[in-house]
Amino acid sequence: MSVRWRTWVLVGLGAATVIAAIYFPYLRKRVKTAAKIEQPSEEQARRELTTPTAASADPLVKARMFWASPEDETALAAVNLDLALSPEPVPRAKQVLNTLLAGPVDSDLRTLPADAALLAFYLLPDGTAIADFSEALATSTPSGIQSEQLAVDSIARTLEANVPQVRRLKILIHGQEVETLAGHLDLTQMFVVNTKATQPGPLVGGALPKATSASAGLAAGSAAGKKAQR
């Protein structure tokens, strides 16, 4: 390499170093700023979760959600939120379950997978609720009787606290009855939610889908909390 080319290479490297020294601090500052924007504070996150949308015509009421306890990961803890909830049981149940699925401010206290979704919800005249969830509820829930029981209990207790018409709960996965949630908890059973619930009258939420008709015929008095250890 000639002296001239070597000189130009050195000059180019020097210029690149100077540009990098000037640009990188600016880039680092932009990244930190973006991170602060993308990660709201705990108070901001709670406000976004509890503030009703402008399009909602439902009244703002006190709701109780059940997520994992910060003191005991094997137990549930009630969290009081101000939510816009319908007075009608089916849309109200969908609203509270979707809030439960959205999760608490502290994501470590989730009881349901972040990618799970509520596909449908039906309420029979005898107070039997049928909640149909996406496959992610089964595939993403950690396998183990404790985590599976906690997931179902959070659903049942949230319904009990906010939708008094629900007496029993049947959980389906993508419109089908499955044997277990994630390998342990028996999902062929009914879960008792509220034995003192009032009768809701006619079928609410439309005709029951064909895929769930067998579930509606299950005995209303199925034992609560039955566990299948496998």
pLDDT computed for residue 54 by the predictor = 41
Domain assignment present for residue 226? The answer is no
Query: What range defines the domain where residue 27 resides?
Result: 1-39
Tokens of 93: 């149940």
User: What is the tally of structural domains in the chain?
Assistant: 2
**Average pLDDT score over residue span 110-130:** 95
The reply to whether 135 and 71 lie within a common domain is: yes
The reply to whether 19 and 50 lie within a common domain is: no
**Closest alpha carbon to 104 in 59, 68, 61:** 68
pLDDT computed for residue 67 by the predictor = 96
**Average pLDDT score over residue span 176-197:** 87
* 216 within 8 A of 129, measured Cβ to Cβ: no
Rounded to whole angstroms, how far apart are CA atoms 150 and 154? Answer: 6
The reply to whether 25 and 49 lie within a common domain is: no
Q: Report the predicted TM-score, pTM, of the whole model to 2 decimal places.
A: 0.65
Confidence of residue 195 (pLDDT cuts 50, 70, 90): low
Rounded to whole angstroms, how far apart are CA atoms 83 and 85? Answer: 6
Lowest mean per-residue pLDDT among 27-31, 127-131, 176-180: 27-31
The reply to whether 33 and 78 lie within a common domain is: no
* 84 within 8 A of 52, measured Cβ to Cβ: yes
Domain assignment present for residue 221? The answer is no
The reply to whether 62 and 144 lie within a common domain is: yes
